[in-house]
Amino acid sequence: MAFSEEMKKKISQAINDKGADKSCERCGYQYFTVLDGYFRQDPQDDPYSVQLGEKSVPSFGVACENCGNLSFMAAKVLLPDEF
């Protein structure tokens, strides 16, 4: 388990507090699960090769419990006091 129960609550609370808890954009279902671990978004300078390590946006992943649609939120924006 990557996240403690306390961290999961902080993430869920921040999503609610910021009004980012609207229904799924694809199917309209209202329940989501915060995925257990950070996701790396790696901005790339070249679309035909992969660069890892220098730039990244640590993110939280959220999955719709009905259709599995995934969305990601920048950790530093959602929980600025933690990062």
Contact residues for Zn ion (CB under 5 A)?
24, 26-27, 29, 64, 66-67, 69
Phi, psi of 7 (to 5 degrees): -65, -40
**Residue closer to Zn ion (CB basis): 12 or 69:** 69
We find the least distance from the C-beta atom of residue 67 to Zn ion, in angstroms, to be: 3
Amino acid at 71: S
Phi, psi of 26 (to 5 degrees): -95, -45
We find the least distance from the C-beta atom of residue 62 to Zn ion, in angstroms, to be: 11
| Alpha carbon distance 54, 15 (integer Å) | 28
**Residue closer to Zn ion (CB basis): 35 or 79:** 35
